Structure 1
Amino acid sequence: MMKKKKLGWLSAILFSGALILGACSDDSSGDEGTDSTSSGDDTIQVWTMSADFDKFVAEFEDESGINVEVQTIPWGNVHDKLLTAVASGKGPDVIQIGTTWVAEFAEAGTFLDLTDHIADYPNLNPDNFFDAAVESTQYNGQTVGIPWYVDTRLLFYRTDLLAEAGYPEGPETWDDFLDAATQLTARGDDQYGVDISQGDPQFPFMLAWERGFKYDEAKGSANFEDPAFVDAVKLHNQFFKDDLAQLTEGKELYQAFSDGSKPMFFSGPWEINSINTQIPELEGKWDVHVMPKAENNNSMIGGSHLGIFHNSDNVEGSLKFIDWMADPETQIKWFENIKELPANTTAWENPVLADDPMIATFGEQLESTQAVPVIPEFEKLAQELIKTLEQINHGGADIDASLADFRSEAARILGE
């Protein structure tokens, strides 16, 4: 049954890709780029979603003598473009892949298995990277990518307002957090303790992980009977039921953070520069803190990996390139240019990161992270969970009944 289900999933991906390929066949925009089969020994083709990548890799070209042809693809287009490449067998040599898409495209045979190549390239050693990042590069016993940059979530908070609630250094536990949020909400009308992104599919999983939830692929939809998962959904609902977070859209986040009406929120490292740039008047009045703790304080780990297309004609050149991208010095330079966090743990010893208290806090959180389930169906499961939470939080639906419906839909998605 499991093998039949996986073959069905692969067929659906390839069929979708074939439709897209047919729809795009008359496109004269040149967006498809050159086939991987046309690469010479001194050229590799790279598909990336990162701006200024072509300028950044000039140093590698000078050092290696390998020409890097870069095609930058908007995030909104890349999923369909990859499906097209899988269906046609015409892709680049090196592919940037988001962590939550690994299983879907690995299932479709997109990537070259790197397992037997890692020993030949020191920077590719899995011991060099955060454990959870490595976990999200593994699929069915294969290594389908190498961690490039990482991402996680932690707590942003107004130090002045949290000090008034008794938590000047930020809440350590979820009990602390709920106490602080309750006090902050009690300040009056239109005052809340926290802003919660209701469309973030990973946040509910983070709440579950911190209560001990671990997804076991063999259990399928039965995973969501785990009391830790149920408790996470109840906590998610409590934020809105007790008015600790605003259920309607309300003010723009930076305005609410600036005027103090929403003095806590969870987000990623890009917010540091955004807050400094957009609300500089808050300097000295805000900070970041690792996730509040229940059984643990595990946050999500995201980011991107670099993989090699399964039929690349320049595997050696591609491996040299990925090895260079994984080098700690390269990763520091990438951080300095783009502010994306290094996946290589040695890079975090560099003063550029270690001496920046807020960035260092992200480094601390990255030691306590968990990868989303590396299964092709994760995106569909996550969106179904968001719909379920909306029914509970907005519609007042019964939690137990809603979760029973969610498990039934999860069973369908998983092909049980």
Structure 2
Amino acid sequence: MSKKFLAGVLCMLLTVSLFVGCGSKDDSTPKENDSKTEGVDEKVTLNIWGMGEEAKLLSEIENDFETKNPNIDMVVQAIPWDQAHDKLLMAVASGKGPDVVQLGTTWIPEFAEAGVLKDLTQYIDEYPNLDPANYFDSSVGTTKFDGKYIGVPWYVDTRAMFYRTDLLEEVGYPEGPNTWDELKDAATKLSARGDEYYGISFDLADQVFSIPYGWQNGSEIIKDGKPLFNEPEYVEAVKYLNSFFEEGLAPIQDDMDLIQAFKEGIKPMFVSGPWMINIIKNQVPEIDGKWAVRTVPAKENNTSSVGGSNLVIFDNTKNEEAALKFISYMTEVETQVKWFDVAKCLPARTEAWNDDSLVSDPFFSAFGEQMKNSKIAPFIPEWESIAMEVKKSLEEISIGGADIETELDELNKTVEKMLDK
């Protein structure tokens, strides 16, 4: 375990009490088997930590998995996302963590650097579902660290553009804007409908909000350990985004519900993830047929960001074989399609995208198309902290009116210090 990581864990142990999640079978801490090794006939208790609503839905596939693996008793703890990171730190420090963990993709480097995740490379031949060739290249990028393959993509997400087809048709873009110039033009025309109307809504609370625009303008964000936030490509991207706020094309701060504003046409465009599809369908069915999803507009490219979750095995597991069987099961094409039906999480297996449930759905298939041109945020342990600094700088610019170049110079200096530690 790295000294930096261990110090953080010990500090956390002194200041934070252990959080307890709710489980589908057991709400207590992970159970331990009587035997330290798995036998052919013995019953194995496989402790799985999942996050948020997805973990609660794992009960939907539990019976099928246990029928196919009668010697494995699957026990799931569902942990709220806002508690998960601290609880994982506690598990690492105590050495009594679960067998399998769902990890958000941006958390992988931190725990991989600590050396607590099992390298899965040696198991690929025996469990071919684990093979990185089965998954989107961008998603595979979140599973490799320091030459090791330490996680398997479970589900993916990316960001695409939601837009009101009827309103965009009125301003000349029935299929939505294809380029940055078209996006600006469409937003300008849409906001001209009246003072209460905007052209687009941007999510300043999203830590990675500006990063894809940097990529689209040719910025690499961080290269060879050096931040590039004050280089022309990223500066130009921030100036472009800020122009929407300066010209009143996008709200800087407001308390209006996005879905209702989308329904009323007040915010006729926004960029978000696939979870918004069912939210719109369920909350505002009256606009069915008047909205669509498409890939994001392009400058030099139309790269978007990749998110989702991976399944990893804690290195100190006593149930390695059972853990591998579970991950292999969860990444079978059939299971991936079933999981999409249950949780509406986008499959990480590329082959699963051939299923009619995805091919025939224009909303979700748009995300599949965007996944072909998406990438991960800088895959470094410091990224979560860096992203918070980026978010604060953008707020200083858009809300506080800070000079863009001065603020980004300061941001770059701050990130340099973070990376030099």
* Equivalent runs, 1:13-412 vs 2, <5 Å: 13-19=8-14, 23-24=17-18, 33-34=29-30, 41=38, 42-49=44-51, 50=54, 51-65=56-70, 66-221=72-227, 223-412=228-417
TM-score (norm 1): 0.93
Q: Which amino acid aligns with 1:245?
A: A
Separation in 2, partners of 1:106, 1:145? 9
Offset of 1:171 from its aligned partner? 0.6
Separation in 2, partners of 1:190, 1:250? 13
1:3 aligns with none
1:83 aligned counterpart, secondary structure: helix
Separation in 1, partners of 2:27, 2:33? 17
1:45 aligned counterpart, secondary structure: strand
TM-score (norm 2): 0.92
Between stretches 112-121 and 202-211, larger displacement belongs to: 112-121
Runs of 4+ in structure 1 deviating by more than 3 angstroms, as ranges, are 23-27, 29-32, 35-40
Offset of 1:172 from its aligned partner? 0.7
Q: Work out the number of aligned pairs and report it.
A: 408
Offset of 1:7 from its aligned partner? 4.2
Task: For residues 84-115 of structure 1, give each alpha carbon's deviation from its aligned partner in whole angstroms, at most 9, with x where no partner exists.
Answer: 00111110110100011111111222211112
Separation in 1, partners of 2:85, 2:32? 18
Rate the CA distance shift 1:116–1:175 in 2: closer, same or farther, 3 A: same
Is 2:107–2:381's contact at 8 Å kept on the other side of the alignment?
yes
Separation in 2, partners of 1:206, 1:312? 37
Offset of 1:250 from its aligned partner? 4.0
2:201 aligned counterpart, secondary structure: coil
Matched, 1:11 2:13: no
Q: Which amino acid aligns with 2:145?
A: Y
Is 1:184–1:193's contact at 8 Å kept on the other side of the alignment?
yes
Residue identity (%) = 46
Q: Which amino acid aligns with 2:409?
A: A
Offset of 1:219 from its aligned partner? 3.2
Offset of 1:119 from its aligned partner? 2.4
1:77 aligned counterpart, secondary structure: helix
Separation in 2, partners of 1:142, 1:36? 27
Backbone CA RMSD of aligned residues: 2.1
Separation in 1, partners of 2:12, 2:118? 19
Offset of 1:316 from its aligned partner? 1.3
Rate the CA distance shift 1:269–1:25 in 2: closer, same or farther, 3 A: closer
1:82 aligned counterpart, secondary structure: helix
Offset of 1:235 from its aligned partner? 1.8
Is 2:221–2:234's contact at 8 Å kept on the other side of the alignment?
no
Rate the CA distance shift 1:24–1:290 in 2: closer, same or farther, 3 A: closer
List alignment gaps of at least 5 residues for structure 2. 39-43
Separation in 2, partners of 1:119, 1:225? 45
Separation in 2, partners of 1:266, 1:135? 23
Separation in 2, partners of 1:24, 1:14? 12
Q: Which amino acid aligns with 1:14?
A: V
List alignment gaps of at least 5 residues for structure 1. 1-5
